[in-house]
């Protein structure tokens, strides 16, 4: 415990001087109180009685008082004077007694010793100075040497995949046989397999399929593709943003490695503090893709990378546009509203105020198709796939109109009709969904309604009537 005392001589000297100075001031205040006690009320009584004695003598000399009466008054006032003087001397003697002084000094000594003892037990006496530059360098070193995806996942409890629904077993098996991520170029099959494997918890297979999809698309790979792959990697690692997930974030945002990501974070933080970027810095921010449903996960996990690496200031810079400018029905909104305040405090934005919350649409990141979609991808032609998709949408619509359903199911139906290009039917189903889930108080109803309104955004504006 005491090994580091010699490494902090300056600290202990300052601490000792402060403690000693406070102890001396307290002791001197006690001594001063002892030597100059406050004048008690009894002292004024003594003065009054003496004046009364002098007045009796004058009255007797003028003949205003008889001798016997004057003698009686003198005796009574003299008795009171002696009693008041005795009490006054006792009060003066009690003020600042040696016993009280010793007790007070003892309390001061014990308090100082106790403070030193507690610091030695709970503090870090040998902790050296930690300048900002050193802390930033340490954070960068931690991020550079953090474990890879494979190493981190290997140390986690194994994820037990879910069993597919009975009507999905055969189509899923056929999909796995016909869509091999190692060789296939079937984009639809790869996308469906990545989504289905993710829903079941087979993240390793889902990651292989999504990576192959991005490889096949090449330069045409979208931010949505990179966002989904990043999400799969983070889900597999139970929230940990690995170097592999970081690489997909950087690629999805079109940046040049972590250095480019760090530069963007610093520029965003400076802009939030009122500094206007110019020249090349302005060009870097202009080239950054806007915050949207497609890029939201990229900004989310870019900030999470820095939050885990000890740079909450950069995390705040990347999360702020996401929470202020991004879609409010994104799955990241609830978690960010809980985290961004702490990041803002560390970034120096102590008075940061969150925008007003809107109804969140819940976590829809891993929603996916059913058995029909899997079968469609397993060797079906484009026409056959279209027919099966139309049949699936028709079946879902019939069930919802007859039996009702959740907001998520109505949203799925609306999106399906939009994909098929049937905008009039989509608008009609949106009206029915709003009737089934009206705007009423209550968290459950609000969440269902938010899912429906999020799906409504897929219909062209001219087709939507609130």
Nearest CA to 228 among 205, 211, 241, 243? 211
C-beta of residue 230 within 8 angstroms of C-beta of residue 249: yes
For residues 450 and 452, what is the distance between their CA atoms, to the nearest angstrom?
5
Q: Which of 371, 442, 368, 361 has its CA nearest to residue 407?
A: 361
Amino acid 33: pLDDT: 59
Q: Running along the chain, 466 residues long, what does each successive block of 10 average in pLDDT?
A: 51 80 76 55 67 76 75 78 71 58 76 82 72 80 90 89 81 87 88 88 93 93 92 92 95 91 89 81 88 90 91 91 86 83 82 68 43 48 54 73 78 75 84 82 64 74 49
Instruction: Provide the total of helices (H) and of strands (E) in the chain, helices listed first.
Output: 21, 0
What sign has the CA pseudo-torsion 246, 249, 251, 254? negative
* 8 Å CB contact between 288 and 253: yes
Burial category of 272 from C-beta neighbours within 10 Å (exposed 0-12, middle 13-18, buried 19 and up): middle
Gap between the Cα atoms of 325 and 362, Å rounded: 18
- State how far the Cα of 130 lies from the Cα of 132, in Å rounded to an integer: 7
Write the pLDDT tens digit of every residue in 419-434.
667 888 888 888 888 8
Quick check: 233 and 248 in contact, CB under 8 A? Answer: yes
Phi, psi of 145 (to 5 degrees): -110, 10
Write down the pLDDT at residue 451.
74
Handedness of CA 386, 392, 397, 402 (dihedral sign): positive
Question: How far is 94 from 349, CA to CA, in rounded Å?
Answer: 56
pLDDT of residue 111: 81
Question: How is residue 432 written in tokens?
Answer: 């029915």
- pLDDT score of 358: 56
- For residue 41 the two structure tokens come to 């009320």
Residue 76 has which token pair? 């009574």
Q: pTM for the full model?
A: 0.58
Taking a C-beta distance cutoff of 8 angstroms, is the pair 459, 418 a contact?
yes
Task: Give the C-alpha separation, 373 to 170, whole Å.
Answer: 12
Transcribe 170-217 into DSSP letters: HHHHHHHHH--TTT---HHHHHHHHHHHHHHT-HHHHHHHHHHHHHHH
Within a 10 A sphere around the Cβ of 201, how many other Cβ atoms? 15
Cα–Cα distance, 101 to 97 (Å, whole number): 6
Closest among 462, 427, 430 to 449, alpha carbons compared: 430
Q: What is the dihedral of CA 156, 161, 179, 212, to 10 degrees?
A: -30
Longest dimension (CA), the chain: 140
Instruction: Tokens for 260, please give them.
Output: 């480019």
Asked if 142 and 309 count as a contact pair (C-beta separation under 8 A), the reply is yes
pLDDT tens-digit map of 73-103: 778 877 877 777 777 666 655 555 566 667 7
Three-state SS at 163:
coil
CB 307 within 8 A of CB 315: yes
């Amino acid at each position: 415990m005491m090994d580091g005392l010699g490494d902090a001589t300056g600290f202990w000297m300052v601490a000792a001087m402060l403690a000693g100075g406070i102890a001396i001031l307290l002791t001197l205040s006690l001594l001063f109180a002892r030597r100059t006690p406050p004048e008690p009320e009894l002292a004024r009584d003594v003065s009054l009685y003496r004046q009364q004695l002098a007045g009796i003598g004058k009255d007797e000399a003028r003949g205003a008082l008889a001798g016997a009466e004057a003698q009686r008054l003198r005796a009574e006032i003299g008795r009171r004077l002696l009693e008041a003087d005795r009490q006054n001397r006792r009060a003066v003697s009690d003020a600042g007694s040696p016993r009280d002084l010793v007790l007070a000094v003892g309390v001061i000594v014990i308090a100082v010793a106790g403070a030193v003892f507690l610091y030695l037990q709970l503090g870090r006496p040998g902790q050296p100075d930690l300048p900002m530059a050193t802390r930033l360098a340490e954070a960068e070193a931690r991020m550079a040497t953090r474990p890879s995806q494979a190493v981190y996942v290997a140390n986690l409890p194994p994820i037990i995949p879910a069993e597919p629904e009975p009507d999905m077993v055969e189509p899923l098996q056929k999909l796995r046989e016909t869509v091999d991520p190692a060789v296939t170029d079937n984009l639809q099959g790869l996308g469906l397999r990545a989504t289905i494997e993710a829903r079941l918890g087979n993240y390793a297979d889902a990651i292989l399929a999504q990576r192959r999809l991005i490889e096949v698309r090449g330069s045409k790979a979208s931010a949505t593709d990179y966002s989904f792959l990043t999400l799969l990697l983070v889900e597999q690692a139970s929230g940990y943003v690995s170097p592999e997930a970081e690489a997909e974030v950087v690629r999805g945002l079109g940046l040049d490695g972590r250095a480019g990501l760090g530069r963007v974070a610093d520029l965003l933080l400076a802009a939030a503090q009122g500094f206007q970027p110019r020249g090349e810095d302005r060009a870097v921010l202009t080239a950054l893709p806007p915050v949207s449903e497609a890029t939201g996960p990229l900004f989310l996990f870019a900030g999470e990378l820095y939050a885990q690496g000890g740079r909450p200031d950069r995390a705040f810079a990347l999360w702020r546009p996401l929470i202020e400018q991004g879609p409010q029905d994104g799955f990241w909104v609830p978690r960010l509203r809980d985290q961004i305040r702490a990041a803002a405090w560390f970034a120096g934005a102590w008075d940061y105020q969150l925008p007003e919350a809107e109804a969140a649409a819940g976590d829809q990141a891993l929603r996916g198709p059913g058995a029909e979609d899997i079968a469609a991808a397993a060797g079906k032609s484009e026409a056959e796939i279209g027919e099966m998709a139309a049949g699936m949408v028709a079946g879902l619509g019939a069930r919802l109109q007859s039996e009702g359903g959740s907001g998520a199911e109505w949203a799925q139906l609306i999106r399906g009709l939009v994909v098929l290009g049937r905008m009039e039917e989509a608008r009609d189903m949106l009206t029915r969904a709003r009737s089934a889930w009206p705007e009423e108080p209550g968290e459950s109803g609000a969440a269902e309604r938010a899912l429906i309104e999020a799906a409504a955004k897929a219909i062209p504006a001219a087709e939507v009537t609130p």
